[in-house]
Amino acid sequence: MTEAPDGASRPQQAAKLVLSLLLTALGLWTLHRYLPALIWAAILAIAVWPLYQRAVRRWPPGKHNILLPSVFTLGLALVFIIPLILVAVQAGREVHGVYDSLAKARTEGMPPPAWLSHLPIGSQQATTWWDENLTNPESAKALLQRARESSFVSSSGELGANIAHRIVLFGFTLLTLFFLFKDGDRLGDQMLRASARAFGPAGERIGRQIIASVHGTVDGLVLVGLGEGFILGIGYLVAGVPHPTLFGLFTAIAAMVPFGAPLVFGIAALILLAQEMVAWTIAILVLGFVVTFVADHFVRPVLIGGATRLPFLWVLLGILGGVETWGLLGLFLGPAIMAALMLLWREWTGR
């Protein structure tokens, strides 16, 4: 019977391959609800790994290597938790006013606000709808009753379950991130040996290309988006937009997706226009379009395209297609997949 180089017969090698594929499929199926947490942890670890390595060289870890992984994991957790706390605090401040408005609508009705008549589009229709549904107490009570019985309100239990599941995933992301920091060097060596055994030198090249694309995407999307939010947040504060900190935060989040920021600063401009602040409305629109034009056409192509070695068209398609297919994970997976495919194409068509 023919033997493979490692001493096993060919049927044994085939059986081993089938068993490995079966166990891999079972493992993925077992973990499929937690795969997003594992992928997010890997993306975050790759994004901050150079900074973590610099900290390791500055403060060499002790025997148990616990402190630095804990500090970096906690720091990344606060990056996500602090904005959520700000939003929750602001929402809590508004809840009392919302309850008072609903109670007043049920007993006295609500006259249309003055800014409704100043809307640039649809002011007449909006005012008419308000008069028919909220000005009269009986109409307002009927509208609120229909809203209470709507599918949106009735699905609040499902919404709560989804939120609880995402909190659990966030906890697993942080736990995985801690162990990636703690054992990242050893895991990296194992992955290099595994890719070399499975794919040869091409495996390491593809892996390094994916890592470089994640770094470039983080710099080009996250950091540039935060910069856009910071600049426009200052503009909101100067222009007198309500809750400028929250608007700046939402702008930064929306700006991480190409062409997403105009939606937020457009809403801010409409609020200013409703308050008859025409000059500041124009100023916010001009500032927003200038900032996004510079970011999307000059800064991002250099940061993302330089790291991924992709034309910006493929970067854009990877981001948009990735978001549509994978959700927020697609912001990073899309360009990484496109970069790996482009590397394979260049190696296939090159000499």
Q: Is residue 22 part of a domain?
A: no
Average pLDDT, integer, range 227-246: 88
Of residues 323, 57, 171, the one with CA closest to residue 49:
57
287 and 179 fall within a common domain: no
Mark residue 242 as left, alpha or beta (left: phi above 0; alpha: psi -120 to 50; beta: remaining): beta
181 and 290 fall within a common domain: no
Collapsed DSSP state (helix, strand, coil) of residue 9: strand
128 and 251 fall within a common domain: no
pLDDT, residue 59, reads 84
Is pTM beyond 0.85 here? no
User: Please, is 265 exposed, middle or buried when counting C-beta atoms within 10 Å of its C-beta (0-12, 13-18, 19+)?
Assistant: buried
Average pLDDT, integer, range 227-238: 91
202 and 285 fall within a common domain: yes
231 and 303 fall within a common domain: yes
Task: Count the domains in the chain.
Answer: 2
57-108 pLDDT, tens digit per residue, is 888 876 667 889 999 999 999 988 887 787 777 666 655 665 666 666 667 6
Q: Is residue 4 part of a domain?
A: no
295 neighbors 220 (Cβ within 8 angstroms): no
Residue 226: which domain range? Answer: 197-351
Residue 36 has pLDDT above 80, yes or no: yes
Classify residue 131 by its DSSP letter. Answer: I
123 and 64 fall within a common domain: yes
250 and 302 fall within a common domain: yes
Q: Is residue 78 part of a domain?
A: yes
Q: From 188, 218, 244, give the residue that closes a domain.
A: 188
Question: Which carries the bigger pLDDT value, residue 177 or residue 102?
Answer: 177
pLDDT, residue 120, reads 57
Q: From 188, 214, 244, give the residue that closes a domain.
A: 188
Residue 211 has pLDDT above 70, yes or no: yes
Q: Is residue 7 part of a domain?
A: no
Q: Is residue 305 part of a domain?
A: yes
Q: From 188, 221, 250, give the residue that closes a domain.
A: 188
Average pLDDT, integer, range 254-261: 82
Average pLDDT, integer, range 176-204: 85
58 and 205 fall within a common domain: no
Query: Average model confidence (pLDDT) for the chain?
Result: 80
pLDDT, residue 172, reads 92
Q: Give me the residue label for tokens 């060596």.
A: 189
Q: Is residue 29 part of a domain?
A: no
179 and 265 fall within a common domain: no
Classify residue 136 by its DSSP letter. Answer: S
Residue 199 has pLDDT above 70, yes or no: yes
Three-state SS annotation for 175-204: HHHHHHHHHHHHHHHHHHHHHHHHHCHHHH
CA dist 57 to 50, 85, 268, Å? 11, 34, 45
Least confident of 5-9, 19-23, 174-178, 285-289: 5-9
Q: Is residue 5 part of a domain?
A: no
Q: Which two tokens stand for residue 109?
A: 């009705």
Helices 201-217 & 300-308 angle (0-180, nearest 10): 170
180 and 290 fall within a common domain: no
pLDDT, residue 1, reads 46
173 and 212 fall within a common domain: no
Q: Is residue 265 part of a domain?
A: yes
Q: How many helices (H) and strands (E) does the chain have?
A: 15, 0
115-165 pLDDT, tens digit per residue, is 666 655 666 777 777 677 667 777 666 666 666 555 444 455 566 677 788
148 and 261 fall within a common domain: no
